[in-house]
């Protein structure tokens, strides 16, 4: 099935317009999170073991943040035995409300996670802090579509990740300024560290804009571990493996550390560190 | 009186005077084909040109290909391009000559006003080709280049006089199956330039070809083929324009460039087609080991543009630089960008692209940087900036970065925004009017591209920017 489609299509031969996923007949789990006016709500989703005999899941999370509220959504997908995982997150943010989304992807063999955010009210904001680690032959798709609809809305997307073995990652992040979103600011950054020769990293950072009084920027970079930093750390007595782990930790840990449970933070990091 | 005229100028946004670009000569011709695309029309074109059979064969295969392929699903709406309404070949009432005095007066006047003969006279160009509708009417090259073995002719002559070299390279960079309008191009191509620069020869003073489409409801399908042999250097400038009509015109040209080992080619274009033109040009370059291609591109005209110069870095250490600006005004949909494929180790590319949109214009940057599995040690930097001058316009950026090798160093950034109010305030506090202040900011925004062009073309580009900004409601 088609799991997501780019809001603006590009050349078909690049095969990035659609993301496909094969899902067995699992029932879709739907969760709704509503934060009333002035409330603060935090929710953690931690997928660390197989829940059903299909080894796959299809999940929808609907978030509504009413005026002046804050929603902290923590999403951890770390079950490496899972086959396919499709997660759709739909977020509506009203006036002066904020949705903070912390996302850790280090799980299923085939993962597609879609995050659709509508910044409806004036001053609405969303901050996305994501980390991914894919190894083996994992195939990871991360898709964001943030629509700036109200005035003075803000979005910040920061994605850090590392790829190992023959893993493949496709990051598609869209910041979409609609007419009327005066004074809005949107930024998106993605940094990919490529640990092995056979990895494949695809990034499609999209900026759509029909409103002039906005600031939009995106940045994407990819490369292997900084050789100078690696050399420096090894010159201090660490071996190559230890040095690599330290540098990947520097990149990924700050986001993992935002999880609300310190034990969970340790578990998540140890799981990734073991696989580096 | 003065004030009234000024006010009228400021609010007249829909149709502004493009001056020399909009001069329409009487539609005279020696021969032309019927509208549409059929095998008979293609045979007629080939017969007009007295072509060898192998070229006719390519044309006929391309006709079938055109009807097999569909319009792209990702592109701007091309449904108004109806090939049955387009005259694909018009032979002007002029022969190919090497002396401007022998060019018919009305055609010569047009090129005079565009500044081409003057530029050539003052030695700013070492060779010139001028195409009017479907045929080249003037071609000349300085003797000292001829003595060094440089070939610069119109493409029809090249097919007859240099068949081995043309057959070696023709359609090897852009196949007719590439997309529907590449197939159309190969079916009805006419005119264009052929350049061959021998090993080690440096052509320091630019060569220029200028394409002028005068006829309404017509197409221009020039084919440019440039081969820069090992260690050589060449700067080629392409200019194009057409007057505005109420019917659709189509430009489906093709530019195939081959940069051999250690060679460098700079390819500059200032495109100012009229606002009824569908500009569906395809440009591609294959760069061998230690070679370099430098694209400089200014897109100002046309109603709809799909233009993505592509560099294929085939040899080790090959390099590509792209500097471009796109200015989308009222009723324009300019979908431009660039594609780079790193297909060898230690290749490098830089892309510096700017776009401006105003009065409801749509400017889209569409890009690709692809690093193949064998392209270890590659480096790439992409920077796209978009400036929106009002809230009626649209500016989108859709770059794709596809990396299949770990040993790569790649960075991409893009920004969208408007002219900073503080900057305008500062300039106005220094006595500059608001309109002029905005103009200065926009010219400053375009400056990195202007400085890559020879002076006369930078001046032309700035004039085009001024022309676009005239009538902008402050």
Q: How many CB pairs under 8 A join A and B?
A: 130
Among the listed ranges A250-254, B192-196, B297-301, B427-431, which one has the minimum average pLDDT value?
A: B297-301
Which residues from chain A sit within 8 angstroms of residue B389, using beta carbons? 212
Distance from CA of B387 to the nearest CA of A (A): 8
Of A82, A69, A66, A76, nearest in space to A44 by CA = A76
Contact B454, B206 (CB under 8 A): yes
Contact A111, A85 (CB under 8 A): yes
B473 confidence band (pLDDT: 50, 70, 90): very low
By CA distance, what is B405's nearest residue in A? A197
CA distance A185 to A189: 14
CA distance B95 to B114: 20
CA distance B93 to B27: 10
Verify whether the Cβ–Cβ distance B415 to A216 is below 8 Å: yes
Q: Is B236 helix (H, G, I), strand (E, B) or coil?
A: strand
Verify whether the Cβ–Cβ distance A216 to B389 is below 8 Å: no
- Residues present in chain A in total: 276
Which residues from chain B sit within 8 angstroms of residue A196, using beta carbons? 406
Geometric angle at alpha carbon B96, from B279 and B134, rounded to 5°: 25
CA distance A260 to A257: 8
Residue B266 bridge partners (DSSP): B235, B294
Distance from CA of B368 to the nearest CA of A (A): 9
Structure tokens at A152: 């003075």
B425 confidence band (pLDDT: 50, 70, 90): very high
Distance from CA of A173 to the nearest CA of B (A): 10
The pLDDT, as a whole number, for residue B10 is 31
Of B462, B174, B440, B445, nearest in space to B323 by CA = B445
Contact B272, B305 (CB under 8 A): no
By CA distance, what is A212's nearest residue in B? B391
- Predicted structure pTM score: 0.91
Regarding predicted confidence, which is higher, B289 or B3? B289
ipTM of the complex, rounded to two decimals: 0.94
Geometric angle at alpha carbon A247, from A245 and A248, rounded to 5°: 65
Query: Is pLDDT of A162 > 80?
Result: yes
Distance from CA of B316 to the nearest CA of A (A): 19
By CA distance, what is B364's nearest residue in A? A208
Q: Is B63 helix (H, G, I), strand (E, B) or coil?
A: helix
> What is the enclosing helix (H) or strand (E) of B207?
strand B202-212
Verify whether the Cβ–Cβ distance B368 to A11 is below 8 Å: yes
Contact B18, B329 (CB under 8 A): no
Which residues from chain A sit within 8 angstroms of residue B396, using beta carbons? 8, 206-209
Among the listed ranges B95-104, B284-293, B376-385, which one has the minimum average pLDDT value?
A: B95-104
Q: For residue B198, with 0-12 CB atoms within 10 Å meaning exposed, 13-18 middle and 19 or more buried, which class applies?
A: middle
- Using CB atoms, which residue from A217, A222, A224 is nearest to B401? A222
Geometric angle at alpha carbon A46, from A41 and A51, rounded to 5°: 130
Query: Is pLDDT of A7 > 60?
Result: yes
Query: Is pLDDT of B233 > 90?
Result: yes
Structure tokens at A47: 């997928």
Which residues from chain A sit within 8 angstroms of residue B368, using beta carbons? 11, 14
Contact B181, B37 (CB under 8 A): no
Q: What are phi and psi of A73, to 5 degrees?
A: -110, 115
Which residues from chain B sit within 8 angstroms of residue A224, using beta carbons? 406-408
The pLDDT, as a whole number, for residue B17 is 57
Regarding predicted confidence, which is higher, B299 or B346? B346
Contact B45, B88 (CB under 8 A): yes
B35 confidence band (pLDDT: 50, 70, 90): confident
Geometric angle at alpha carbon B393, from B391 and B396, rounded to 5°: 115
The pLDDT, as a whole number, for residue B3 is 35
B238 in the Ramachandran plot: left (φ > 0), alpha (ψ -120 to 50) or beta?
A: beta
Strands B378-388 and B249-251: unpaired
Of A194, A91, A95, nearest in space to A144 by CA = A91
B96 confidence band (pLDDT: 50, 70, 90): confident
Query: Is pLDDT of B15 > 60?
Result: no
A81 in the Ramachandran plot: left (φ > 0), alpha (ψ -120 to 50) or beta?
A: alpha
Structure tokens at A129: 């802090």
Q: What's the whole-number mean pLDDT along residues A244-249?
A: 90
CA distance B408 to B252: 35
């Amino acid at each position: 099935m088609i799991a997501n489609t780019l809001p603006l299509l590009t050349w078909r031969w690049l095969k990035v317009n659609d993301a496909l996923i094969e899902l067995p007949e699992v029932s879709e789990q739907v969760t709704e999170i509503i934060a009333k006016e002035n409330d603060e709500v935090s929710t953690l989703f931690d997928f660390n073991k197989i829940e059903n005999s299909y080894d796959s899941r299809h999940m929808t999370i609907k978030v509504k943040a009413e005026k002046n509220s804050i929603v902290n959504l923590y999403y951890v997908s770390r079950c490496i035995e899972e086959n396919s995982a499709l997660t759709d997150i739909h977020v509506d943010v009203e006036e002066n409300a904020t949705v903070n989304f912390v996302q850790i992807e280090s799980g299923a063999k085939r993962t597609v996670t879609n995050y659709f955010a509508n910044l409806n009210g004036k001053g609405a904001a969303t901050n996305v802090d994501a980390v991914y680690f894919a190894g083996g032959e994992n195939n990871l798709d991360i898709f964001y579509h943030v629509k700036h609809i109200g005035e003075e809305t803000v979005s910040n997307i920061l994605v850090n990740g590392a790829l190992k073995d023959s893993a493949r990652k496709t990051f598609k992040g869209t910041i979409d300024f609609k007419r009327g979103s005066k004074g809005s600011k949107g930024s998106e950054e993605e940094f990919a560290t490529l640990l092995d020769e056979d990895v494949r990293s695809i990034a499609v950072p999209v900026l759509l804009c029909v409103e002039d009084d906005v600031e939009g920027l995106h940045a994407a970079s990819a490369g292997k571990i900084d050789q100078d930093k690696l050399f420096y750390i090894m010159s201090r007595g660490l071996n190559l493996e230890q040095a690599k782990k330290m540098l990947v930790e520097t990149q990924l840990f700050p986001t993992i550390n935002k999880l609300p449970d310190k034990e969970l933070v340790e578990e998540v990091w140890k799981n990734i560190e073991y696989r580096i | 009186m003065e004030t009234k005229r000024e006010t009228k100028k400021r609010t007249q946004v829909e149709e502004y005077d493009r001056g020399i670009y909009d001069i329409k000569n009487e539609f005279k011709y020696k021969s032309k084909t019927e509208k549409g695309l059929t095998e008979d029309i293609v045979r007629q074109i080939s017969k007009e040109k007295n072509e060898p059979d192998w070229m006719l064969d390519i044309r006929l295969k391309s006709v079938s290909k055109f009807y097999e392929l569909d319009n792209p699903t990702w592109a701007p709406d091309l449904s108004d391009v109806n090939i049955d309404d387009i005259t694909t070949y018009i032979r002007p009432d002029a022969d190919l000559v090497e002396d401007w005095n022998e060019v018919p007066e009305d055609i010569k006047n047009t090129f005079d006003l565009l500044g081409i003969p003057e530029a050539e006279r003052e030695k700013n160009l070492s060779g010139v080709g001028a195409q009017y509708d479907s045929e080249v009417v003037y071609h000349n090259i300085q003797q000292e280049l001829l003595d060094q073995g440089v070939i610069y002719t119109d493409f029809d002559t090249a097919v007859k006089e240099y068949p081995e070299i043309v057959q070696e390279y023709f359609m090897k960079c852009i196949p007719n199956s590439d997309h529907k309008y590449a197939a159309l191009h190969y079916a009805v191509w006419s005119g264009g330039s052929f350049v061959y620069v021998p090993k080690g020869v440096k052509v320091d003073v630019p060569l220029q070809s200028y394409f002028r489409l005068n006829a309404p409801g017509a197409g221009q399908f020039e084919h440019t083929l440039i081969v820069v042999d090992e260690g050589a250097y060449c700067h080629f400038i392409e200019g194009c324009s057409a007057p505005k009509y109420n019917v659709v015109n189509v430009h489906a040209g093709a530019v195939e460039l081959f940069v051999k080992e250690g060679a460098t080619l700079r390819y500059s274009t200032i495109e100012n087609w009229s606002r009824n033109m569908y500009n569906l040009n395809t440009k591609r370059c294959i760069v061998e080991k230690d070679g370099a291609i430098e694209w400089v591109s200014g897109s100002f005209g046309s109603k709809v543009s799909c233009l993505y110069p592509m560099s294929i870095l085939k040899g080790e250490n090959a390099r590509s630089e792209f500097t471009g600006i796109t200015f989308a005004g009222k009723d324009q949909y300019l979908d431009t960008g660039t594609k780079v494929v790193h297909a060898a180790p230690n290749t490098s590319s830089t892309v510096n692209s700017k776009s401006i949109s105003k009065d409801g214009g749509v400017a889209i940057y569409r890009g690709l940087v692809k690093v193949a599995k064998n392209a270890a040690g590659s480096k790439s930097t992409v920077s796209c900036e978009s400036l929106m001058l009002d809230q009626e316009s649209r500016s989108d950026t859709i770059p794709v970065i596809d990396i299949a090798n770990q040993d790569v160093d790649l960075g991409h950034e893009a920004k969208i925004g408007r002219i900073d109010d503080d900057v305008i305030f500062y300039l106005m506090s220094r006595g500059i009017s608001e309109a002029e202040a905005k103009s200065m900011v926009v010219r400053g925004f375009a400056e990195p591209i202007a400085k890559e062009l020879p002076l006369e073309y930078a001046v032309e580009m700035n004039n085009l920017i001024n022309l676009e900004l005239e009538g902008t409601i402050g």
